[in-house]
Amino acid sequence: MNKPRRIILASGSAIRADIMHGAGIVFDIVKPDVDEAELKKDAAKTGLDPEQTAMMLAEAKCRDVAHQQAGIVIGSDQILEFRGRLYDKPQNLAAAKARLMEMRGAPHTLINAIAVARDGEIIWRHIDRPTLFLRALTEREIDEYLAASGEEILHSVGAYQIEKFGSRLFDRIEGDHYAVLGLSLFPLLELLRREKAITF
């Protein structure tokens, strides 16, 4: 039996690693060295739309690691889009509160992009766009949520973690649960099976 290909996650995201560990995938983590802020500025200057921007970032992370490491390299990025505007991770809890106050009672979209390289060449791309509906939260509810969750939520572009206490903030979510968390698992598993990187 041939040895499965080495799988590398080009990300420092703990939740993406948790998703892959949970699915029983054996992989290494190599953090990419890319300037996301600069890439987003370039995307805005060249007029890329949100999906193109997310994919450009995923590809940049993937390529950076794939040029150094042999195997199957997975790069991913997630962008929050609300009323035509793109959002980065909040810098502090005051910014997180402002974001939740702004988005309450309305839907927003998380654009999740994945790029996969095999031995240095990108062979697969995937985009998911789950839509999330925040409840019409009161300011008191938002304050209570932030006090209970703390600065951990600053690692989330939406200032929430639906896998934890943040689930209380929503009326409903439409789309792939794993894409909301940051990695569209089912399409990725199909790709890894096709590449014989996993057995089933």
Give mean pLDDT, residues 166-187: 95
Is residue 41 scored above 80 in pLDDT? yes
With a CB cutoff of 8 Å and minimum separation 6, the contacts of 138 are none
Sign of CA dihedral 148, 152, 158, 160: negative
In terms of Cβ atoms closer than 10 Å to its own Cβ (0-12, 13-18, 19+), residue 92 is exposed
Q: Which tokens belong to 52?
A: 């193109």
pLDDT level of residue 4 (50, 70, 90 thresholds) = confident
Dist CA 120 CA 168 (whole Å)? 42
Give mean pLDDT, residues 68-97: 94
pLDDT of amino acid 153: 92
Dist CA 138 CA 104 (whole Å)? 8
Is residue 2 scored above 70 in pLDDT? no
All domains of the chain, ordered by start, with CATH? Answer: 7-194 (3.90.950.10)
143 against 88, higher pLDDT: 143
Distance of CA 160 to the CA centre of its chain: 13
pLDDT of amino acid 88: 86
pLDDT tens column, 119-140: 899 999 999 999 999 999 999 9
77 is a catalytic site residue: yes
Is residue 5 scored above 60 in pLDDT? yes
Give mean pLDDT, residues 86-107: 95
Q: Is 31 within 8 Å of 10 (Cβ atoms)?
A: yes
Task: Catalytic residue, from 42, 49, 64, 77: name it.
Answer: 77
Dist CA 8 CA 116 (whole Å)? 10
88 against 10, higher pLDDT: 10
In terms of Cβ atoms closer than 10 Å to its own Cβ (0-12, 13-18, 19+), residue 35 is exposed
pLDDT of amino acid 1: 52
Dist CA 118 CA 121 (whole Å)? 5
Give mean pLDDT, residues 143-151: 94
